Each structure stands twice: as structure tokens, then as C-alpha cells.
Copies of this chain bind each other. A is one copy, B any other.
Amino acid sequence: MHVPERTSLPHIVVVGAGFGGLTFAQKFPGRLARVTVVDRQNHHLFQPLLYQVATAGLSAVDIAQPVRAILRKKRNLEVLLAEVTGFDLGAKKVLLDHGVATVAGGTGKGTAGRAELAYDYLLLAAGGLTSYYGHDDWEKVAPGLKTLDDALAIRRKVLLSFERAETEPDEQRRRELMTIIVVGGGPTGVELAGTFAELARTVLVRDFDRIDPSKARVLLIEGGDRVLAHYPPDLSASARRQLERLGVEVRLGKHVKDVRAGEVQMPDGEIIRGTVIWGAGVVASPLTKQLGVELDRAGRVKVLPDLSVPGHPEVFAIGDLVTLTDEKGQVVPGVAPAAMQMGRHAAKVIAREIRGDHQSPVGHEPFVYWDKGSLATIGRSSAVAEIGRFHFGGLLAWLAWLFVHLVFLVGLRNRVAVFSNWVYSYLTYKRGARIITGLHGGGPAGSA
């Protein structure tokens, strides 16, 4: 236990403990400023593996770590579980949903119990949310995949429909209960569709007596003309072939027209019934709207080349909630490595300024994205990879994906757990995490 030094050090507030915020917190030199990391969850989530929790391959704790545990040894750093409700950029304050004890601004004075946090520098790294493109009512019937609770909800929904199918007398209805409709052919949609197809054919098939889960229908509906639109066309084609090999029905070129409970409607009027999962859009956290600066259509902040927010040289924004074309003309993508690189860059810029290397906010070093390549997984030993000029698919891409994700997993324990879980699943085709929670209401000790 260490109490932060209450000196006249500047105070940096970091909003969000995702890849960007966490990297900033880890890289920023502790002796230069007090840092307060605020997040509405108590854990950092390894989002690239969230689809594995949804598809019952991993358990929730395998991919999450308490933020306090990760940053435990960092000097002059505090973690706060609270929800940011807005900003007062003029007064340099972050507004919170509940009171905070003795957290002070740069002056060192207490603001006991008031629901705000004074800062000298602000780093906004709150990430994104699932976007339903204006159809917010679709959220209830087609869960997205952004949080652990989302993943557990998707898992519950799919496993429950197979349970219902097992006892359903009507054949038509049974077939619908065994249909999974994934909307959106980006990385999330491709992962979900591929893994669910595999889960049904290799694991669930041995669990049920009456139904034959290998006959489960998995559809991937994408509005554009190819899956993984941000990848080179040859990899999109490869991903599609690998999906089809797993038994996924890929439908391209058509946006869903409507989503209702248990069905989607296509533009030509066709109704497809099944369990609908939303893998389509991402928008920036609604917090960006509170900044009063220009945003793009997805609500992302148009940051300056140094990642600061226009008009507020002491406010920086990074990760999925910004849009930026860097000095080299690269559009920085909304992926974990980009967020981490931005976190590191912001730490460097702010540290330099505090040290006095740059007295003026003008002339900060611009951020340049280093594209290490892209990897998307499809199923067991299926993936596509783009590393520099090399494009490849199949087992080699999957091994690369496995390696990269294990190396990046925060926390040794999780790495060991995830790895042993995978090896075990791979060898036995069992899925240990196939547990449904939250089935009978969240309250304590159900009524029957």
C-alpha cells in the first residue's frame, strides 16, 4: 500500500483502462505527475478474445484482470472505479457519477466528496460502443459484443436456444432455434460466425440427444461486397472460403432491413428466423459529445497530429474514439496495437512538456502509426494474416494469431490459463466454459 505523494506535481486524469489508457498509465514516468485512472469497470478486458467468452471457449476471468492489480506497483498512480458523466474543460475538471474523497487538482487542495476531479492534463481513452446505426431498438434483440456482460449474454442466448431446440416438438421452429444469424462481416462477425459453426459441429454435437447440432445453420450477413473489408481483397476471399468450409452461409451485398426478436428482415422482404447477434458497427463513447469539438459520423474526435484535442492543448484523446490520418497518410485503424501506440505517444508528449523540453503546446511530435500487420481469426486453425507484403491464411495465420494474442495477454496467470484451456480444448474438443449464468434473474436465491 502506497499513498501518492501529495506534492505540487501536476495531475493527469486518464479516462478508460482499455489498451490505450492502460499503456499510457504504464509508460508515463511516475515521478513527473500524479496519475488517476478512472474506469466504470474494475477490470481491463482483453477485447480481442472476447468472442471466445461469447462462444464458450474461455471463461470471463481468463480475459480480464483487475485494473488495480495491473497498476499496483506504479508510483503516484491511483485507480478509481467511477463513471465519468462529463467535463468542464474551462475549469479543467472531469465530472463523475459519485463523490471522490480528497482527490485534488494540481494545487494539492482537497475537494472532499464532490463528484469531480480537477486535472492539469486529461487523456480521454474511453473507447467505443456497439453501434446500431440509429436503430437503438435493435440492441434488445441482437446483442453486440463489447463487454464481458455482452459476451456472457450472447453465450446464454445461443446455448439456451439449443436447449430449447432439444425439447421443441415443431420441426420448423426447431430449425429456427438452431439458426444463428451474425450481422456484420468485420473481424468480430467473422470470429463469431466461424467459432459458433465450429462449436456446433464439434462440441455441441456430442451434448444433445434429440437434435443434431451439426445441422445448425450459421449465417453471416454483410452489407458490403466482401467480409473483412479493411483487409486486402485476397484475404477477404480466403476468409470467406474458410468460413464456408466451416459451414457458415456467407451473404454479401445486402444490409438487413429490420431486426426483430428472433428474426431479421432482408431488403427483398425475406425473413430469416434465428438467434440474432450484432457484429456490425462501432461508435465512439458518447463522452466525446461532451467535449464540444468536431466529431466524425461515428462520434470520433478529430484529434490534431500530436493527439491533442483542437483548442485544448492539455486534453488528449486516443484509441477507438479518435479519427486520424497520420503524417504518412495512414488512416489509423481502431485496433488494440494502434491504441497502445497512441497511449505511449501521449505519455511521451505530456512527459516532455512537464519536463520543460517543450514549453509550448505547439511543435509536439506528431503521432505516426506503425502497422505491424493485421490478423483475423475464423476458427480452430483458420485465420488470415497480413504482415507487410505477406498475405496468408489457414493454419500458419492461425498460429501467428495464437502467438501474438498469447504474448499480449495481460498477466501471466491468464496467459497460462488461456493457453492450457486452448490446448485442452484442442485435444479433447470439449468446451469447459459452457456454463449459462444469470438464467433466473440476477437476484439472490431465486424463488423456486
Contact = CB atoms under 8 A, between A and B. Distances in A.
Q: How many copies of the polypeptide does the oligomer hold? A: 2
Contacts of A129: 445-446
A60 B99 contact: no
Contact of A66 (B65, B411, B434): B434
Given A101-B167, A445-B143, A413 B430 contact: yes
Contacts of A174: 101
Interface in A182-237: 205-210, 212
Interface string A19-59: 00000000000000000000011110000000000000001
Contacts of A206: 1, 72
Contacts of A440: 40-41, 147, 149
A144 interface: yes
A4 to B, nearest CB: 6
A229 to B, nearest CB: 22
Contact of A444 (B68, B139, B166, B445): B139
A436 B43 contact: yes
Interface stretch (A76-84, A336-344, A365-373, A400-408): A76-84
Given A140-B443, A445-B139, A163 B99 contact: no
A438 B437 CA distance: 11
SS of A interface (majority):
loop
Contacts of A2: 209
A362 interface: no
A437 B43 CA distance: 9
Interface of A: 1-4, 40-43, 59-62, 64-66, 68-69, 72, 78-83, 98-103, 112-113, 129-130, 139-140, 142-144, 146-150, 152-154, 159-160, 163-164, 166-170, 174, 205-210, 212, 278, 285-287, 411, 413-414, 416-417, 420, 424, 430, 432-448
Given A40-B439, A61-B433, A68-B207, 5 more contacts: A1-B208, A41-B439, A78-B209, A438-B438, A438-B442
